[in-house]
Structure 1
Amino acid sequence: MLLSLIFLSFLSGSFAVYRPSIGDVFQWQLQVDDNHPFDYSMHADLYDVDLWAVTPQQIAAIHAKGAKVICYFSAGSLDNNRPDAHLFHSNDIGNKMDGWDEHWIDIRSSNVKSIMAKRMDLAKSKNCDGIEPDNVDGYDSGNAHIGFSFHDQLVYNRWLADQAHARGLSIGLKNDVGQIQQLHSSFDWALNEECHDYDECMEYQTFLDEGKAVFNVEYVNSHHVSSTKQQMCTRNSPTGMRTQFKVWDVTSWVWRCPNQ
């Protein structure tokens, strides 16, 4: 009942969901441990950090300097290192993700949705301003032996957006380039990985046309961005997209394209 009331409040306009502005400075750090502490000292308009790694005290400190916090979690895969991993049922779990020690999960499962709702509740309780749900394109990324479809992915991603908004949380569309045209109106901003390498950056014009921020991350193997890589800053990008370079572990190190 409470959730229904929250959702109705959102529909009536009681919640002002945060929406990053085009041109905002985005800082993304997912690797947070003893060797890589969360660094929120640098200038950014919004910090995107792991949901379990960030503390309420750190979020309060970020808010005190006028910035926002986006909390990351995977909405499409099981990582056994997460504290709620035991909540997944065996029939929720699909095949291993290529290149990662995680498994795809069945987004049609009511239990999976219950787990994701709890994750959004945690984000809300920590006072995150928004969420970045990852791996929301499993229909197109090797979910063989699970069998969910393009349509199932649309239903699930819209459900995530509705649930985030019901809690007053902003939500970004992570990758899922093939469904931008169907999903752009449900999401508040977008985050893309390696659209330059896949020649997909112009697909995000739809978000920008609606005044919604688009952040692009390209990867490098060390704290160095070659002149060839730097050409991505001015090549085949929609006006307004902000591109930055990160190492694969997504530590605090960042190299941002100048003049964006």
Structure 2
Amino acid sequence: MPRTVAVGLAVGAVLVGGALFVAASVGFDSDPAAETDATPAAAGVTLPPVDARFDYQIGQPYAPPSGVTVVSRDREASPAAGVYTICYVNAFQVQPHEVTWWQRNHDDLLLRDADGEYVVDGDWNEILLDISTAAKRTAIADIVNTWIDGCAADGFQAVEPDNIDSYDRSDDLLTLDDAVEYLKLLAPHAHAAGLAIGQKNTTELGTRGRAAGLDFAIAEECGRYDECGDYTTVYGDHVIDIEYTDDAYTTACATVGANVSVVRRDLDVTAPGSPTYVYRAC
């Protein structure tokens, strides 16, 4: 989802309603800084094609614009026909329409503060998942990995686990180390299911995400925040950038648009027909 400001709020309740390409070769031992056009990936998985025309459809699926060959859609949507489709999974936070299910079945896996209140990403009204211990990470991964299996069964080619940086919104209850250890449970499972897996935002990972098994990057607003090089240093040209303002889009196109996918979308990633819909690509 679009990057958010670090916020931790306590709430007692939340509103309830969620073509073939060439596979890359094995390896994580090369110098990331020396990479340019390709990044090694797990055997048997297919990375999104480099510098392809991309569309970000995690808000609502629709027929891809002309020339689009890579799309990201929510895991509850169907893959786009005839194009490489990435499966969006909110792997670190709870979608508002799924809150009741989590509370009824796995309330112990929802992050709470010292007062016993849920810790919430205030921008998106999403409770954070509690990845603070190995046992809880394993329990949550068991659930999220079934979603990843569903992505594979539905015909997606890759998975995008969102909100890796939720530790920044956890009131210091979670750490970057927790996120990395959790990713180590998701990445091998995605690969075993035949899916590539991407790093979503979180430049703080450095090379640790790739070492944990991530294959490419989806960056929101790397042009706006001058972070695009942080991703290309690790993943070469296997980077997709989404910008939400015209100025940042222009910057990203000028700096990295010749080598990586860059799109301009509206903040709510709406569909054509919406008064706020925006889509451009360079």
Interval of TM-score (by shorter of Structure 1 and Structure 2): 0.7 to 0.9
1:11-56 Cα distance to aligned partner (Å, 9 max, x none): 9x99620112321222110122xxxx522353222211011022xx
Residue 195 of structure 1, CA deviation: 1.5
Which of 123, 139, 144 aligns to 2:171? It is 144
Residue 119 of structure 1, CA deviation: 0.6
The alignment yields a C-alpha RMSD, in angstroms, of 2.7
Aligned length: 225
SS at match of 1:81: helix
Structural mapping, 1:68-217, within 5 Å: 68-82=84-98, 85=102, 89-94=106-111, 95-107=119-131, 108=133, 109=136, 110-139=138-167, 141-144=168-171, 147-185=173-211, 186-209=213-236, 212-217=237-242
Residue aligning to 1:231: 250
1:243 pairs with 2:262: yes
1:50 pairs with 2:77: no
SS at match of 1:144: coil
Distance 1:213 1:125 in 2: 24
Residue aligning to 1:40: 64
Percent of pairs with identical residues: 25
Residue 239 of structure 1, CA deviation: 6.0
SS at match of 1:164: helix
Residue 180 of structure 1, CA deviation: 2.8
Residue 138 of structure 1, CA deviation: 1.9
User: Please, which runs of 5 or more residues in structure 2 have no aligned partner?
Assistant: 1-25, 27-40, 112-118, 272-277
1:87-139 Cα distance to aligned partner (Å, 9 max, x none): 65222112110311111111241331121011112112212111111001222
SS at match of 1:158: helix
| Alignment check: 8 A CA contact 1:201 1:238 kept | no
Distance 1:179 1:236 in 2: 22
Structure 1 length normalisation: TM-score? 0.76
Distance 1:73 1:164 in 2: 12
Residue 245 of structure 1, CA deviation: 0.8
The AA in structure 2 aligned to 1:90 is: D
Distance 2:51 2:225 in 1: 23
SS at match of 1:137: helix
SS at match of 1:105: coil
Distance 1:205 1:230 in 2: 17
User: Please, which runs of 5 or more residues in structure 1 have no aligned partner?
Assistant: 1-10
Q: Evaluate the alpha carbon distance shift between residue 87 and residue 16 of structure 1 in structure 2; reply closer, same or farther with a 3 A threshold.
A: farther
Q: Evaluate the alpha carbon distance shift between residue 44 and residue 207 of structure 1 in structure 2; reply closer, same or farther with a 3 A threshold.
A: farther
Distance 1:82 1:41 in 2: 30
Q: Evaluate the alpha carbon distance shift between residue 27 and residue 238 of structure 1 in structure 2; reply closer, same or farther with a 3 A threshold.
A: closer
The AA in structure 1 aligned to 2:262 is: T
Distance 1:256 1:167 in 2: 31
